[in-house]
Structure 1
């Protein structure tokens, strides 16, 4: 029986190719229903394959070297890409990329610094880089939501904000209610996810550990840490993004910038 099972066991690459069947079915459905997304699906699939294989080999080398400079370099690259992506999505905010890069850097630095200094994770490539990826990816989404919400609120409430400024309010006072709304908008998704974790789906870190052979209780412990970590990262990044974004809309004379 074992030899029969071994004969039909899929190698790692054949498992990946077998999973490709799901993408092909999705492309067929897209073609059948004239959704016209099949080309984008196939391009995305090819890009994901190349990018993940490349990062897999790169991480294998970095994990083997386990040098602090390499760890910091990878984190810096991730922050740079996240800042560029977030800033591109919030095009209506002046200096959006600089704001996003700064906010994500602050969120990542504070979160990772606390995790390592408290002894929750060690400053090794194998632990720090995957955790940094989760922190920075979550921070990128929070930053985008906060920046765009502040921009939308200012556009919608411009008359009210200018009236408050004319009555003597500082820029921070005039924008304070809208910064709170933006922070709520940025943090609500991760809070909602934390509320329902384990009830609707098994999160990524937990699933990965279970598939790798860890016990469910070990996987649960790590996932709890990850969820708490992401809430903290969202708070740090959201607050930094709100503070830096509002500075882009208020002059040193506490006046609201006119739209370009």
Structure 2
């Protein structure tokens, strides 16, 4: 029961990133660029403390692709939530990450079981269905493109991170080195002073639901089978969708619900353990 509660808390933290980002940016309390910057600074500070408390060090070189992937995720994520609802954005992100990692596995020469091909095809079909419906609304194409960038970045980041010896330390380093890159996005638009609400949302997203959420996830991961960990993450877009409806008053359409079921069903199918897979 304790492990279940820890996993549930972690998934809720991941989903909360979407809710915090959406409410902060969409309300006009903070710009998307500033949200991403404050988030990465807050996350870096908390992760640095966690790494040092555990006796680790931040005097090392991070992965170039890891930093680039994380930066793309942070920037694309914040920009996408200017227009996307929290649950819809989380679904596009999660589905896109899985597709990216699937493509990465092929590039790396991993043997992909037939069931996984079927599952990813189903998930991709569902994503196309959802994105096609969203893209009919004016201005939504750019939001979807930014979330696709975020998915690509997080997918690459996840692929790079699979082989690291110390995930928490690697994450801390990547966050620290992403700070100046995310700061560059402030230059084109200029630095607009956010209000206290916007800053609070960004700090909560970076320091609590991101940094502490990742730390908690690393703590429970060794206790879970890979397939269980994968299926557990299917709850993230669902939690974000429900949270968006209950807390932010976002609408739910039948096509979105049906498309979500197709995406999540496809991903679940691809995560099933099959003989020889």
TM-score, normalised to structure 1, is 0.36
Larger radius of gyration: 1
TM-score, normalised to structure 2, is 0.35
